[in-house]
Amino acid sequence: MDTSLYLKQVELGEMANYVYLIGSTKTKEAAVIDPAWEIDRIVELAQADEMKITHILATHTHPDHVGGKLYGLQIQGVAELLERVDAKVVVHKTEAGHLTPLAGSNIMRVDHGDTVNLGDVAVTLIHTPGHTPGSQCFLVCNRLITGDTLFIGSCGRVDLPGSNPEQMYDSLTNRLMKLDDKTVVLPGHNYAAGRTSSSIGEERKKNPCFQYRSLAAFLRAMGHA
């Protein structure tokens, strides 16, 4: 049952990012997922709901999700949030080094299958490399927060430094598509004309990225044949 689940999705920043607040309405513990933009607003939203931010969860460490240098701009992100709250920063172990300058000793290095407990609400971490080596999704109460791995009707880019189309195909087909059809998909960006959510079942049927029956076909479609 998810009667105590606290979940808030908000679009912030200049790149149509979705930032999430998740936690327990019973214990009032909460995590922020990918807080790169508008830190004041994130803190205000949590305070308005009387939630205490105890964790920061990173789907991956691109600057538009955690802060850093982006197109000549310095986005404070995680570093600024840590000036406001005392929180652990949860990042996949393969990308922890990218966040160390921003988060220091607050880093929690995690791996596939690990869980983070927010009071009575458990968040399961699913390692989904492809967009980046340490990309991960967060499964909580039948909701899947997918970052830049899976979007509504598409998947994350695999032509960036550190991207790997073979890993993306494996992550999509052997990890995400193994989830229940009713699992709600909550993406990392508003790339679907304002649609805020989907489901694994809907993406299985309609998302072009899931229609390729072999790795070779997927690679050809991604321009990596």
Q: For 191-205, what is each residue's pLDDT tens digit? A: 999 899 999 999 999
**Which tokens go with 201?**
């079942």
Q: What is the pTM of this model?
A: 0.96
Rg (CA), the chain: 17
Residue (of 31, 171, 184, 29) closest to 112 by Cα position: 171
pLDDT digits (tens, 9 = 90+) for 39-76: 999 999 999 999 999 999 999 999 999 998 887 777 88
Q: Which amino acid, 224?
A: H
**Which tokens go with 36?**
């790169």
Residue (of 99, 17, 135) closest to 65 by Cα position: 17
Bridge partner residues of 101 (DSSP): none
**Which tokens go with 224?**
């990596």
DSSP-assigned letter for residue 37: S
List the domain range (segments joined by +) for residue 209.
5-221
Query: Could you give the dihedral angle defined by the CA atoms of residues 118, 137, 103 and 56, in that order, rounded to the nearest 10 degrees?
Result: -30
pLDDT digits (tens, 9 = 90+) for 123-163: 999 999 999 999 999 999 999 999 999 999 999 999 999 99
Query: Which class for 212: exposed (0-12), middle (13-18), buried (19 or more C-beta within 10 A)?
Result: middle
User: Tokens 């850093």 label which residue?
Assistant: 68
Considering its fold, how many domains does the chain have in total?
Answer: 1
Helices vs strands, H then E, count in the chain:
7, 16
**Which tokens go with 109?**
């290095």
CATH code for the domain in which residue 149 is found? 3.60.15.10
Chain mean pLDDT for the chain: 95
